[in-house]
Structure 1
Amino acid sequence: MTASEGFLMFFKKKKGEVDKRMNQKNLDDKELIPVNKDDFIQKMKERLHDSADLNIKELPNGFTLIYFDTLTDKRMMNEDVLARLEDAQASPDEAFKHITVSSTSKHKYVDDVVDSMLHGAVAVHSPGHPVIISAMVGTQENRSLTRPENESQVLGPQIAFNESMATNISLIRRYLTNPNVCNESFTVGKQTRSGVSLLYMKGLADEEMVDRMRERIKNIQIDSILDSSILVQLIEDNSLAIFPQMLMTERPDRACAWLLNGKLVVLVDGSVQVIGAPHSFIEFFQSMEDQSVRWQIATFLRGLRIFSMVVSIFFTPIYVASLTFHYEIIPQTLLIPLGESRSKVPFPPIIEALLLETMIELLREAGARLPTKVGQTMGIVGGIVVGTAAVDAGFTSNILIIIIAVSALASFTTPNYMMGNVIRILRFPLIALAGFWGFYGLMVGFCFLLIHLLRQSSLGSPFLAPFYPPRFADWRDSIVRLPIGWTNTRPAQSRPEDKQKYDARKSDKK
């Protein structure tokens, strides 16, 4: 054993002893269950502030039941708890034996009992015993499974996650009937006590990444986690970056595809979106439908999305830079109609472009916030009326109307909502740079974006993989999607323990 290994083992041992002492101190600080029935009832009333929906039921044989009316299923309470305890002796072992609820636990501390009750359990106290039996009889209220709203597609499964984490995990396990699917549970939020689950495939996921994600979730210190979109901002590598570094999806098939590639999936109770990591920049422009169509069509669609992103970000800034500083790049046949279109416009190109872009964003945001039927009508009618009135009033030119419309249309081709919002925002600073410094400013903005992307990472993996650093094996399923028989390796970005999906030579045999 080397000296460095000896020092490492020494510090690990010391850290383990410190953690053990801290855990023992936390246990000592917890309050034990009162043995006396009246003391127990008084303690629970104090801890739960004698809430109006707190129900206390004392049975003739000595059992005392405490639960929340609004959180418990009345049928389960009557049939599986009350009816079973009527003839039982008042002891924790007898209660544990007679209650016919699958999720039943024993507790010694008041905090644990309160936490179980807040999740829908009934607490059963036996006089003279410092142990509480909790039986989970919570209501299972959730909406039925529906089609995906934000990731709709023609081919493939037509089912989406809902707000119940138990339902979402069951959907994943039905797709992946594999005992290697691991599920780790956490509680996050001092006030909400929200349930968070970390899923990964044992033998595929990199243990270092699992440890990193586990530590990030454990170290969260916040009052509430109400949705996965809040959690993802707390666990991603750089929360100050404008680009999202982790993907979210509402499709179970996509979450299963991530797990099979060695990635991690995080679920939040009450959220319809699940988080996946690590992910690269190019994956934000991929769709699950790309796997369901022919490889030529999938490659064309992916290339179209990348082209649309470039058009959406740079089309309007190029127009502003050309009219402000670089007339020489405009074809002569286009100069005359362009001059006639702008002859009545009193504003310089930068003000004209920013004004019209702001109007488009106002229409888009208003259409998204209004009810569905009203929002669609308002978006179409408002766009036509405002665009026509702006041209007639001389506020803008016809050509810019076309450019802005194409840029807005191109931004909708991005399959991911978060990345689509980023593309919408990036146009504004680039328009300003193009208006002040022309193509030089545009190049400065492009270089800044490229450097910013190069500096980002997703769960410690390069964000621009597989292009930087170059991993040529992963190019087969990036912008280009080669035939499925050729994509037999898992992406190196997730550092999977098993890199081969299958034997490519055998898969080609008919």
Structure 2
Amino acid sequence: MEDAVFNDIEIGEMQVTLIYLSSLVDKLTLHKLVMFPLMQSQEKFLQTAEVIDRNDLDSIISTITEGNTIIYFHETKTYLKINTFSVPTAGIMDTDTESSVIGPQNAFTESLETNLSLLKRRIHNTNLKSKNFVVGTETNTKVSVMYLDHIVNKENLDIVCKKIKEINHPGFNDISILQQLMDDHPFSPFPQCYETVRPDIAVSNLMGGRIVIAMDNSKGVMICPISFFELFISPEDYYNRWTTASLLRTLRFFGFFLTISLTPTYISVLTHHPEMLPFDLLLNLQESRGRVPFSPVMEVLLMELVIEILREAGSRMPSKIGQTIGIVGGIVIGTAAVEASLVSNTLIVLVAISALLSFLPPNFIMSNASRFVRYFFILAAGMFGLYGQMIAFAWLFHHLLNLTSLTTPFMTPLIPRKWSDLFDSVVRMPTFLLKQKPGIARAQREKKPPAEKGE
């Protein structure tokens, strides 16, 4: 390595070599933790340092690449290590992807140690345990699995640890890659683990018996197992009144089914079932499509493609320019398309509403899944009308009912049913009723302390 440093120094009559990477170790930290203590008292330094097997070359190299400093004593031929990792890291900042008006605002960072401290400062409990792993054959990335030992389901914990140990992947730049490799059904568009950047969400799930997985150099953490209904829950729901939270959850939940069926229904009615509409409404639709040369299917696919292009282009540009391009581009292109008789003005409204509804789920991957599923519904509606939509809905429910998260049914609390989970599903009950652990976590029953004699 070009940044490897071999510094030979003499301390009295003893010769010592310091080995470290200059890109991972700051000189001030090196002087404070190694040089100064070594000059002052060699006996105390030997007591604080950790001995490494000199015959284990892989362990020595791995120790150096982790930011430690190796101290080699020539006379005794012994290797000691001191943790001197000191690279600049971003401070704790507010979240910009899962923002909320009420509740905590800080987010995880890309430092594993900082993220673990954010969790431990919120849970002062000796039962908060962690298991550490190293993944990535090339990157050797640190992963920490956190759980509450007296609550977590041991079978779930064993499954997570087994999956992490069996992963054979060259490198991990973000925890989302680990999430894809740990999914029970990797070909499904729906996420089977929840990813968040908010410590308060991770803490509430730990207390519910879930498992939280954090990775070094990744700002998000992964939570498992999860259910389909939890993908529509926002962290702000628990800080808001239960009436408002229930209203917003219902809007998100039914908005998902509306966004995948709005434009397909437009295709079905105009292509196969015009008799379903009132005559005045049908007349207005036919007038708006009077000069459109495309079929309803091609018309919808054209507008959906334009929306995808605007969304993708806006996300790749700087934030201020991206917002301008998204708003102005949508208005200009939509107006021009109607005036050019490429699409109907009714479809512009439906596509815009459908695009807005797709952003209602708090989970971004769930939002992408709704966009992907919508194309199946569009094609089914174009071929068979409402019958095709019903077939697509049957496929969707069959797929969701067969999904699992850590071998637990994805459609919990409906499959299997646990009545207490219904208090915190589509409708959120008042907080004093949300005492039991969620059924999907299969949490252990907390043992009550033994009664004292004489009671």
| TM-score > 0.5, shorter chain as reference | yes
**Aligned residue type for 1:194:** T
Name the SS for the 1:302 alignment partner: helix
- List alignment gaps of at least 5 residues for structure 1: 1-50, 502-510
Matches within 5 A, 1:352-501: 352-498=299-445
Q: CA deviation at 1:98?
A: 6.5
Local SS of the residue matching 2:15: coil
2:27 aligned with 1:74: yes
Paired with 1:114 and 1:380, the residues of 2 have a C-alpha distance of 53
> What does residue 451 of structure 2 align with?
none
Q: Is the 8 A contact 1:236 1:458 kept in 2?
A: yes
Name the aligned partner's letter for residue 55 of structure 1: V
- 1:107 corresponding residue in structure 2: 53
Provide the secondary structure at the position in 2 that maps to 1:222.
coil
> RMSD between aligned alpha carbons?
1.5
Provide, for residues 440-468 of structure 1, a one-character-per-residue CA deviation record: whole Å limited to 9, x for no partner.
11111111111111110001110000012
Change (3 A) 1:418 1:478: same
In 2, the alpha carbon distance for the partners of 1:290 and 1:500 equals 30
1:175 aligns with 2:122: yes
Alignment partner, residue 137 of structure 1:
84
Instruction: Tell me how far apart the structure 2 counterparts of residues 129 and 226 of structure 1 sit (CA, whole Å).
Output: 41
Flag the 1:441–1:127 CA change in 2: closer, same or farther, 3 A: same
TM-score, normalization by structure 2: 0.95
**Cα distance per residue 1:352-406 (max 9 Å; x no partner):** 0000011011101111111001000000000000000000001100111110011
User: Residue type of the partner of 2:133?
Assistant: F
Q: Displacement of 1:272 after TM fit?
A: 0.6
Q: Check whether the contact 2:148–2:207 (CA below 8 A) recurs between aligned residues.
A: yes
Tell me if structure 2 keeps the 8 A contact 1:85–1:98: no
Distance, in Å, in 2 between the alignment partners of 1:174 and 1:224 is: 30
For 2:52, the aligned partner's letter is K
Q: Does residue 1:221 correspond to 2:172, yes or no?
A: no
Q: Look up the SS of the partner of 2:315 in the other structure.
A: helix
Question: Runs of at least 4 residues of structure 1 off by over 6 A?
Answer: none
Q: Which amino acid aligns with 2:130?
A: N
Question: Which structure 2 residue ranges, 5 or more long, are not aligned?
Answer: 449-455
Decide which of 1, 4, 8 is 1:58's aligned counterpart: 8
Alignment of 1:325-364 (within 5 A): 325-364=272-311
Q: Percent identity?
A: 39
Paired residue secondary structure (2:261): helix
The alignment of Structure 1 onto Structure 2 pairs a total of residues equal to 444
Q: Using the alignment, how far apart are the partners of 1:492 and 1:282 within structure 2? A: 12
Aligned-partner SS, 2:20: strand
Q: Does 1:205 align with 2:152?
A: yes
Give the match for residue 195 of structure 1. Answer: 142
Distance 1:428 1:362 in 2: 15
Q: Of the candidates 207, 214, 235, which is equivalent to residue 260 of structure 1?
A: 207
**What SS does structure 2 have at the residue aligned with 1:168?**
helix
Distance 2:48 2:128 in 1: 33
TM-score w.r.t. the length of structure 1 is 0.85
SS of alignment partner, residue 143 of structure 2: strand
Partners of 1:401 and 1:500 in 2: CA distance: 59
What is the rounded CA distance, in whole Å, between the counterparts of 1:85 and 1:333 in structure 2? 91
Higher relative contact order (CA 8 A, sep 6+): 2
